[in-house]
């Protein structure tokens, strides 16, 4: 402070000299109620902090002023209220412009001649082009006494202002104020880090001279997934993440409440969140804790008058899950430290505002050609550019996100934001029809007609072209500032890859391009995460995983693994031959890409696990995904395990460029399977049995039965076939099942055709023609082969089903099928035995039925060469019996 005083004084003096000749010589101090009025600025944006003091009727002093630079038209602004409407209808109150970054600056500002304090209920720092409130003071609110600097809150002190500030690291600061009488200290943690990070600060065990962490009483603060701040009291019993040991006791970095199984109303949990926000890429959280009135077990008393060691850290945080219902700070890389702090010694080494590298904190929605973007409206919770109306636009359920579109790629909107919201895309940052404000705008898309409600959404397509600028805005025609930015880019992923599909839950988009011998793949998460993994396989266990992640140094990496179990130890790094591998994170959205050969270059299969990771473009590829807070190369632990995963694999048809969820097919496949079973397992074999064993029954009943059974069997086969083709949207010959199935259908279909062309049946007494005998052979052979192939198709079908769903049921069904066919085979053997016996009886009876008596149908006429036929049919029956267990 000390060195600044002279500068401030001289500045004041210079200004003072200026003021006297030009304006202030005649400035009265009539408005006594506001004289010497002091208030802290409320931070809204641009890390604005400062103290306002009204000097007289036409000037005010601003001190300790911090602000990140805005546009070149940032003004002092007066308004009649704090609401959106009143602020936007405000007016410029001074010629002084705020055209730079301010770092703890102090200066005096003169009002314009025609402006008086009565007109100014709210004094704001206003960015004119974007109609942004950077920060403001409600003039005259509460008492006009001097500020309540000692951090007791309320009044006209601001939650972002403290008495003291210390720099912990380049991007991390602690601010504090305390009251010894009231026994509390309020701490503000401020860090220019990503929103997924926690900030921790606390007092080390006073008896420790090294290893300050053990026994330390810290507060862990951060933001929940919904953007709400939290601050929680933690105690460190051990250098580890919070785990439960064998005795069921918690140890490590755990919340106080975890050590104490029953906490009688916040006895150990005595850190209270006061305020928190995330602005300009900077996290800020203010909390309060007692100085001395602590539980003594997991909290340390803070003596404000003595030197104490404090520790700090920041790093990624894992959200609570069912096992550990609290925020779990992850291993922090190098981002921790300790220092000696005496809270009573005033300090301020924080010069100017923290400046984050990436100030854009808003969600990002990337438009793809396939899925329409759902435009709705909802309450404003974290609108990026306040002040704003209470209702703002949402895209895909995200509040006022940055929308990224690609030139030449059509964007579909499904507009359902209500009748009072007309969607349009404009060059005007404010929207709400610039013409009405006497400004000009270029409208690229939409207008008054682009409105709809959820019950009847309006679907419209916008095609950004080469003339669309890089930055435009989406807004409502009727109200200002409901939407946000549209980034228009060239050549995004949809442009670089031929195909894309959304994986399960619509959280991950997979892009790919097939080329000769290799495949290029890109994956993009649709929400913020520290890593994104996709796996080729049915579930994470037994899959080949590709992980895109950001390491401690902020570099994007892509790693490959073979996973054969559920815990971290079953994650085996593999050496896949990847080229063009890269990974990046934008607004927390991870995108990674790689190119790999379809067939790994291995000398022999099974040499290494990844040698079996063959991508066959003709087979559907099962793809799953997972996302989580943090990944690391060396010390993989349980905490690396995902926090969100796909619920089911998606089958990606690489050649066709489409995907389908697996389970949806089940009912249809079940119907297909049942129909095929009915046909190949019951009706068609039944028809053959009828033809073979019922001929001795009088009349041509057997023939009727044979024909009916076969025709109905074939009809069902065709229906079942159509079912499968319709559901799979095409016919693919790559699998054994389909090959068998098609052959069976072909053979089955050939039967009625050859039956139609069968040579005439010999009339009684006539010798059977050669043609008829040959036809008989063919008909019998083709029929039986058909059934055999059909049965093979049934079993390969079951195998497929098993591969797809890995169900217990499938095994059961397969066994049931085997037993069914075994019973069938036994029945056939028995019938065959009886038939033989019957014939032997007849032959020995000496009858001359051999040549047929008119009632006997064709097949038996083969009996002229009976021995051969018998052998043949026998062997085929036996083959059937043997094939069944084999074809599993
Ligand atoms: C305002 O402050 C000045 C100097 O600090 C003092 O001389 C003056 O009396 C104060 N005015 C009022 C109304 O408190
Ligand atoms: C704007 O300010 C005026 C005067 O202070 C007040 O009457 C009015 O209600 C305010 N408007 C809104 C929308 O709050
Ligand atoms: C800001 O404006 C003042 C004049 O009002 C000018 O002297 C100064 O150079 C400007 N600063 C910047 C950074 O443009
Ligand atoms: C004050 O005068 C300026 C011109 O000198 C004008 O632009 C501005 O609108 C006036 N402000 C008010 C509140 O009348
Ligand atoms: C604030 O603290 C200062 C010393 O830092 C003390 O002189 C003053 O009385 C305190 N004010 C209140 C309201 O506690
Ligand atoms: C600690 O207390 C606060 C306020 O009473 C409560 O919101 C929070 O959930 C508590 N934390 C735990 C871990 O019980
Ligand atoms: C605290 O440490 C500073 C030096 O860092 C020393 O000047 C001061 O006397 C110490 N205060 C106490 C109470 O030990
Ligand atoms: C804005 O309002 C003007 C006048 O009412 C109208 O002509 C113009 O079409 C409107 N602009 C849009 C984008 O609706
Ligand atoms: C990796 O693939 C490239 C071509 O895709 C091939 O030339 C190279 O030999 C492969 N390297 C290994 C180690 O398999």
State the Cα–Cα distance between residues 754 and 776, nearest whole angstrom. Answer: 10
Quote the ligand 9 centre to 557 CA distance (angstroms). 20
Of 198-212, 661-675, 815-829, 837-851, give the lowest mean pLDDT range: 837-851
The CATH homologous superfamily to which domain 364-490 belongs is: Cupredoxins -  blue copper proteins (2.60.40.420)
Taking CA atoms only, the protein residue closest to ligand 5 atom 6 is 150
- The secondary structure element, H or E, covering residue 581 is strand 579-586
Q: Which ligand is nearest to the CA of 580?
A: 9
Of 302-316, 337-351, 666-680, 834-848, give the lowest mean pLDDT range: 834-848
State the Cα–Cα distance between residues 729 and 731, nearest whole angstrom. Answer: 7
Q: What percent of the chain has pLDDT over 90?
A: 38
Residues 363, 364, 367: CA angle, nearest 5 degrees: 145
The CB of 71 under 6 Å from ligand 3? The reply is no
Average pLDDT over residues 203-216: 88
**Average pLDDT across the chain, whole number:** 83
Q: Strands 282-290 and 184-191: what pairing?
A: antiparallel
| Strand ranges of the sheet holding 458-462, from the earlier edge strand across to the other edge | 398-399, 391-395, 373-379, 411-415, 458-462
**pLDDT category of residue 4 using cuts at 50, 70 and 90:** very low
* 148 has a pLDDT exceeding 80: no
State the Cα–Cα distance between residues 701 and 707, nearest whole angstrom. Answer: 10
Which atom in ligand 5 lies closest to the alpha carbon of residue 346? Answer: 5
* 824 has a pLDDT exceeding 60: yes
Please report, for the chain, the start and end positions of each structural domain, with discontinuous segments joined by +. Answer: 4-138, 164-341, 364-490, 497-661, 664-886
Class of domain 164-341: mainly beta
The CATH fold of domain 664-886: 1.20.120
The CB of 91 under 6 Å from ligand 4? The reply is yes
Candidate of 306, 307, 341, 344 to mutate for ligand 7, largest count of ligand atoms within 8 Å of Cβ: 307
In this predicted structure, what is the pLDDT of residue 71?
Answer: 92
**pLDDT category of residue 342 using cuts at 50, 70 and 90:** very high
Quote the ligand 6 centre to 233 CA distance (angstroms). 9
In this predicted structure, what is the pLDDT of residue 143?
Answer: 44
- CA 18 vs CA 11, 59, 92, 108, 114: distances in Å: 11, 13, 21, 11, 19
Cβ-Cβ contacts under 8 Å for 523 (sequence gap 6 or more): 508, 509, 510, 511, 532, 534, 546, 548, 591, 592, 593, 625
Cβ-Cβ contacts under 8 Å for 840 (sequence gap 6 or more): none
**pLDDT category of residue 156 using cuts at 50, 70 and 90:** low
pLDDT in tens, 394-451: 999 999 999 999 888 889 999 999 999 999 999 999 999 999 988 999 999 999 999 9
Quote the ligand 3 centre to 510 CA distance (angstroms). 49
* 20 has a pLDDT exceeding 90: no
The CB of 36 under 6 Å from ligand 1? The reply is yes
Residues 350, 354, 355: CA angle, nearest 5 degrees: 150
The CB of 150 under 6 Å from ligand 5? The reply is yes
Same fold, 497-661 and 664-886: no
Taking CA atoms only, the protein residue closest to ligand 3 atom 8 is 99
pTM of this prediction?
A: 0.69
Q: Which residue has the tokens 């007309």?
A: 422
Whether residue 490 is preceded by a cis peptide bond, meaning omega within 30 degrees of 0, is no
* 877 has a pLDDT exceeding 70: no
* 128 has a pLDDT exceeding 50: yes
Cβ count within 10 A of residue 397: 11
In this predicted structure, what is the pLDDT of residue 884?
Answer: 37
Cβ count within 10 A of residue 362: 18
Which has more confidence, 350 or 802? Answer: 350
Average pLDDT over residues 764-791: 84
State the Cα–Cα distance between residues 176 and 887, nearest whole angstrom. Answer: 76
Which atom in ligand 1 lies closest to the alpha carbon of residue 29? Answer: 13
Cβ-Cβ contacts under 8 Å for 630 (sequence gap 6 or more): 316, 318, 330, 331, 530, 531, 549, 639, 640
In this predicted structure, what is the pLDDT of residue 18?
Answer: 45
Nearest CA among 778, 740, 732 for reference residue 757:
778
Cβ-Cβ contacts under 8 Å for 112 (sequence gap 6 or more): 92, 93, 94, 95
| Strand ranges of the sheet holding 184-191, from the earlier edge strand across to the other edge | 164-169, 172-179, 184-191, 282-290, 272-279
Of 10-14, 65-69, 224-228, 780-784, give the lowest mean pLDDT range: 10-14
What would the two tokens of residue 599 be? 């067939």
In this predicted structure, what is the pLDDT of residue 332?
Answer: 67
Which has more confidence, 431 or 142? Answer: 431
In this predicted structure, what is the pLDDT of residue 142?
Answer: 63
The residue length of the chain stands at 888
Average pLDDT over residues 88-109: 94
In this predicted structure, what is the pLDDT of residue 93?
Answer: 95
State the Cα–Cα distance between residues 335 and 552, nearest whole angstrom. Answer: 10
Quote the ligand 9 centre to 577 CA distance (angstroms). 6
| Strand ranges of the sheet holding 49-56, from the earlier edge strand across to the other edge | 38-40, 49-56, 59-67, 102-110
Torsion angle of C-alpha atoms 444, 450, 453, 454, degrees rounded to 10: -50
Candidate of 142, 147, 150 to mutate for ligand 5, largest count of ligand atoms within 8 Å of Cβ: 150
Average pLDDT over residues 589-603: 89
Average pLDDT over residues 563-590: 85
pLDDT in tens, 242-273: 888 888 788 888 888 888 766 555 567 789 99
Helices (H), 23-89: 84-88
* 749 has a pLDDT exceeding 90: no
pLDDT in tens, 512-564: 999 888 999 999 998 888 899 999 987 777 889 999 998 877 889 999 998 88
In this predicted structure, what is the pLDDT of residue 642?
Answer: 60
Quote the ligand 6 centre to 165 CA distance (angstroms). 27
The CB of 419 under 6 Å from ligand 9? The reply is no
The CATH fold of domain 497-661: Immunoglobulin-like (2.60.40)
* 881 has a pLDDT exceeding 70: no
Which atom in ligand 6 lies closest to the alpha carbon of residue 232? Answer: 11
The CB of 301 under 6 Å from ligand 4? The reply is no
In this predicted structure, what is the pLDDT of residue 104?
Answer: 93
Q: Which ligand is nearest to the CA of 163?
A: 5
Q: Which ligand is nearest to the CA of 34?
A: 1
Which has more confidence, 485 or 157? Answer: 485
**pLDDT category of residue 146 using cuts at 50, 70 and 90:** very low
């Amino acid at each position: 402070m000390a060195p600044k005083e002279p500068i401030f004084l001289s500045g004041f003096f210079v200004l003072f000299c200026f003021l006297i000749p030009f304006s202030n010589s005649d400035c009265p101090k009539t408005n006594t109620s506001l004289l010497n009025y002091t208030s802290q600025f409320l931070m809204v944006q641009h890390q604005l902090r400062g103290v306002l003091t009204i000097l007289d009727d036409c000037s005010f002093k601003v001190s300790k002023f911090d602000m990140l630079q805005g546009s070149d038209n940032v003004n002092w602004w007066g308004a009649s209220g704090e609401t959106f409407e009143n602020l936007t209808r405000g007016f410029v109150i001074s010629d002084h412009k705020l055209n730079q970054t301010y770092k703890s600056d102090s200066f005096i500002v003169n009002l314009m001649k025609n402006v008086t304090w009565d007109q100014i209920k709210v004094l704001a720092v206003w960015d004119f082009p974007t109609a942004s409130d950077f920060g403001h003071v409600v003039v005259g609110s509460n008492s006009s006494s001097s500020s309540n600097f000692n951090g007791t809150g309320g009044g006209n002190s601001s939650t972002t202002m403290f008495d003291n500030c210390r720099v912990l690291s380049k991007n991390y600061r602690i601010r504090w104020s305390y009251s010894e009488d009231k026994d509390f200290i309020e701490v503000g943690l401020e860090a220019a880090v990503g929103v997924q990070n926690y900030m921790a600060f606390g007092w080390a065990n006073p008896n420790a001279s090294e290893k300050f962490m053990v026994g330390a009483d810290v507060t862990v603060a951060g933001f929940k997934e919904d953007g709400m701040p939290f601050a929680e009291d933690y105690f460190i019993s051990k250098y580890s993440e919070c785990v439960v040991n064998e005795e069921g006791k918690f140890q490590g970095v755990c919340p106080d409440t975890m050590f104490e199984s029953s906490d009688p109303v916040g006895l150990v949990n005595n850190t209270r969140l006061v305020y928190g926000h995330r602005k300009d890429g900077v996290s800020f959280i203010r909390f309060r804790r007692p100085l001395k009135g602590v539980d003594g077990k997991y909290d340390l008393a803070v003596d404000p008058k003595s030197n104490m060691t404090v520790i700090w850290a920041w790093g990624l945080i894992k959200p609570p899950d069912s096992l550990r219902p609290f925020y779990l700070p992850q291993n922090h890389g190098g981002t921790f430290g300790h220092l000696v702090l005496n809270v009573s010694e005033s300090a301020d080494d924080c010069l100017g505002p923290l400046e984050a590298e990436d100030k854009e904190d808003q969600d990002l929605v990337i438009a793809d050609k396939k899925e329409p973007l759902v435009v709705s409206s909802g309450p404003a919770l974290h609108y990026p550019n306040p002040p704003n109306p209470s209702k703002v636009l949402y895209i895909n359920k995200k509040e006022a996100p940055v929308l990224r579109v690609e030139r030449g790629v059509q964007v579909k909107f499904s507009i359902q934001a209500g009748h009072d919201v007309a969607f349009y895309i404009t060059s005007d940052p404010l929207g709400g029809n610039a013409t009405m404000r006497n400004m000009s705008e270029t409208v690229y898309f939409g207008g008054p007609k682009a409105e709809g409600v959820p019950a009847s959404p309006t679907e419209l397509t916008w095609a950004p072209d080469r003339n669309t600028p890089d930055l435009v805005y989406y807004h409502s025609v009727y109200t200002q500032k409901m939407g946000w930015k549209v980034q228009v880019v060239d050549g995004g992923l949809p442009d670089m890859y031929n195909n894309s599909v959304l994986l399960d839950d619509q959280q991950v988009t997979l892009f790919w391009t097939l080329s000769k011998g290799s495949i290029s793949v890109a994956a993009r998460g649709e929400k913020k995460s520290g890593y994104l993994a996709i796996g080729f396989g049915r579930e994470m266990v037994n899959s080949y995983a590709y992980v895109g992640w950001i390491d401690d140094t902020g570099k994007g990496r892509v790693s490959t693994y073979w996973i054969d179990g559920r815990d971290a130890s079953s994650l085996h790094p593999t050496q896949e031959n990847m080229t063009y591998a890269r990974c990046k994170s934008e607004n927390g959205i991870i995108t990674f890409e790689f190119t790999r050969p379809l067939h790994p270059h291995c000398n022999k299969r099974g040499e290494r696990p990844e040698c079996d990771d063959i991508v066959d473009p003709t087979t559907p590829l099962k793809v799953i995904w997972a996302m989580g807070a943090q990944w690391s190369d060396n010390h993989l632990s349980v905490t690396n395990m995902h926090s969100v995963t796909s619920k089911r694999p998606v089958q990606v048809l690489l050649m066709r460029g489409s995907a389908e969820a697996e389970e949806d097919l089940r009912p249809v496949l079940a119907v297909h399977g049942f129909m095929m079973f009915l046909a190949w397992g019951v009706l068609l074999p039944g028809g053959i049995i009828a033809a073979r064993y019922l001929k001795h029954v009088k009349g041509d009943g057997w023939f009727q039965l044979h024909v009916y059974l076969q025709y109905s069997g074939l009809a069902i086969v065709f229906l079942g076939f159509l079912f499968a083709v319709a559901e799979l949207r095409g016919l693919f010959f790559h699998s054994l099942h389909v090959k068998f199935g098609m052959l069976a259908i072909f053979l089955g279909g050939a039967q009625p055709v050859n039956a139609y062309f069968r040579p005439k049946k010999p009339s009684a007494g006539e010798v059977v023609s050669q043609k008829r005998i040959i036809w008989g052979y063919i008909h019998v052979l083709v029929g039986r082969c058909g059934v055999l192939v059909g049965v093979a198709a049934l079993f390969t079908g079951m195998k497929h089903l098993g591969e797809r769903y890995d169900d217990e049921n499938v095994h059961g069904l397969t066994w049931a099928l085997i037993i069914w066919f075994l019973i069938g085979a036994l029945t056939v053997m028995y019938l065959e035995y009886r038939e033989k016996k019957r014939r032997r009886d007849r032959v020995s009876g000496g009858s001359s039925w051999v040549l047929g008596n008119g009632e006997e149908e064709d097949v038996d006429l083969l009996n002229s060469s009976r021995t051969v036929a018998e052998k043949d049919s026998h062997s085929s029956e036996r083959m059937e019996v043997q094939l069944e267990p084999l074809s599993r």
